[in-house]
Amino acid sequence: MDSTAQSTFIVDLAAYAQNLRVIREMIPRECAIMAVVKGNAYGHGSVAIAQRALQAGAAMLGVATVEEAIVLRSASITAPITVLMQPPADAFPEAIENNLRLVLSDIDAAEKLGELARKRNRVIPIHCKVDTGMGREGLDPESVIAAMRHVTRVSHIDIEGVATHFSSADDIDDPATANQLRIFKQVLRQFEKEGIPYEMAHAANSAAIVGHPASAFNMVRPGLMTYGVWPTDTPPERMALRPVGRWESKIVLIKELPSGWSIGYGRTYTTERPTRTAVIPVGYADGYKVPFGNNADVLIRGRRCPVRGRVSMDQIVVDVTEVPGVTAGDPAVLIGIDGSEQITVSELAKRARTVGQDILSCIGPRVHRVYVN
């Protein structure tokens, strides 16, 4: 770990590439992979992950914003990049300049983009978003064909893809995904009936790749599972995915507290016996979430040590009474394996009543990234 870093997120690029190979084995041979690297590659570092994704066979990269795409272009990444959220119109010039693909959800945006592209003598690929039940972005299934007929007459715009997004694919028993898939297939049939050309159709996120293989079409958009986190509520007994990130820090202080001594803001924990504690320089400003207070463990010398008291902005306190020989400078594992114990992203997500994407993407810039393999 960097001597000045309070904590380090160690990113295993070989594990990331292995996870892409696992996904490749789960989808049809003709199906392309759009590696989703939005949110700084779910906290792992978008440039390094994007480079490894392309080396491992990804055909395209997916980001959330034009700004995220420009970060990749600035790193000399020339591969196709799709901006998955419709950007504001004032971002269109940068999108055109950086040769980005845009997912659009309305005619006005397509017309504005086409006019700007015409002035620059560029043809911009777009992906038409269809709202099949997410209730967020996307054209209504009943109006999408009329809208796309209009867009085909907009110069300097190429309808490269048609896309939708599932609301609850992580719940395999929820019938909503099957219904969304049915609607999307109907829309694609209408595209073909009307002779509206497109090159690719994509709907499947990580959870749909696992639970709804019929949604693969000819491109998938894996995100969470590429980082080694199983995307549904029913993980397999033998996990083929490998965790990509390991978050660790070091103990900076050991303290002996008497029985009846309170710990942290709000005095939410009071010792019930003489207690040895360790102070670790990680807090919610680093992405270690407030709900972990009195509700999570840290691994020290291969043992689980409970967090005591609230998570502060910059520090947590853990109980090391049961771990012999602990000293300042010992490693403390927040996510990862230590001996026979492991703290996973999924475990922390359950403790915080959130999702794995939230746990990973909130790991902040103060946390030093180190890339291995």
Per the listing, tokens 């983009």 go with 113
Q: Of 226, 258, 288, which residue constitutes the final position of a domain?
A: 226
N-term to C-term CA, the chain: 16
Per the listing, tokens 């870093």 go with 5
Instruction: For residues 190 and 141, give the distance between their C-alpha atoms in angstroms, rounded to a whole number.
Output: 10
Residue 66 lies in a domain: yes
Judgement on whether residues 274 and 334 belong to the same structural domain of the protein: yes
Which residues 6+ apart lie within 8 Å of 104 measured at CB? 86, 110, 113, 126, 127, 128, 129
Per-residue pLDDT of the chain (373 residues; tens, 9 = 90+): 666 889 999 999 999 999 999 999 999 999 999 999 999 999 999 999 999 999 999 999 999 999 999 999 999 999 999 999 999 999 999 999 999 999 999 999 999 999 999 999 999 999 999 999 999 999 999 999 999 999 999 999 999 999 999 999 999 889 999 999 999 999 999 999 999 999 999 999 999 999 999 999 999 999 999 999 999 887 787 779 999 999 999 999 999 999 999 999 999 999 999 999 999 999 999 999 999 999 999 999 999 999 999 999 999 999 999 999 999 999 999 999 999 999 999 999 999 999 999 999 999 999 999 999 9
Q: Is 362 helix (H, G, I), strand (E, B) or coil?
A: coil
Q: What is the pLDDT of residue 4?
A: 80
Residue 231 lies in a domain: no
The CATH number of whichever domain residue 344 belongs to comes to 2.40.37.10
Instruction: For residues 291 and 318, give the distance between their C-alpha atoms in angstroms, rounded to a whole number.
Output: 15
Residue 236 lies in a domain: no
Q: What is the pLDDT of residue 284?
A: 98
Query: Residue 50 belongs to what domain range?
Result: 31-226
Q: What is the pLDDT of residue 173?
A: 87
Residue 218 lies in a domain: yes
Q: Of 197, 226, 255, which residue constitutes the final position of a domain?
A: 226
Judgement on whether residues 274 and 218 belong to the same structural domain of the protein: no
Q: What is the pLDDT of residue 2?
A: 67
Tokens of 257: 């507290």
Residue 367 lies in a domain: yes
Instruction: For residues 351 and 144, give the distance between their C-alpha atoms in angstroms, rounded to a whole number.
Output: 41
Judgement on whether residues 211 and 356 belong to the same structural domain of the protein: no
Taking Cα atoms as reference points, which of 197, 231, 204 lies closest to residue 219? 204
Judgement on whether residues 182 and 111 belong to the same structural domain of the protein: yes
Q: What is the pLDDT of residue 63?
A: 98
Q: For residue 172, with 0-12 CB atoms within 10 Å meaning exposed, 13-18 middle and 19 or more buried, which class applies?
A: middle
Judgement on whether residues 360 and 320 belong to the same structural domain of the protein: yes
The CATH number of whichever domain residue 144 belongs to comes to 3.20.20.10
Q: Of 226, 261, 285, which residue constitutes the final position of a domain?
A: 226
Residues in the chain: 373
Judgement on whether residues 72 and 117 belong to the same structural domain of the protein: yes
Residue 7 lies in a domain: no
Residue 14 lies in a domain: no
Q: What is the pLDDT of residue 5?
A: 85
Give the helix, strand, coil percentages of the chain, each rounded to 5.
Answer: 35, 25, 40
**Catalytic residue set:** 38, 265
State the pTM of this model. 0.94
Number of domains in the chain: 2
Backbone angles phi, psi at 271, to 5 degrees: -65, 145
Which DSSP letter does residue 88 get? P
Judgement on whether residues 210 and 274 belong to the same structural domain of the protein: no
Judgement on whether residues 126 and 198 belong to the same structural domain of the protein: yes
Residue 175 lies in a domain: yes
Judgement on whether residues 303 and 357 belong to the same structural domain of the protein: yes
Judgement on whether residues 129 and 269 belong to the same structural domain of the protein: no
Judgement on whether residues 287 and 338 belong to the same structural domain of the protein: yes
Instruction: For residues 147 and 106, give the distance between their C-alpha atoms in angstroms, rounded to a whole number.
Output: 8
Asked whether the beta carbons of 148 and 196 are under 8 A apart, the reply is yes
Judgement on whether residues 286 and 218 belong to the same structural domain of the protein: no
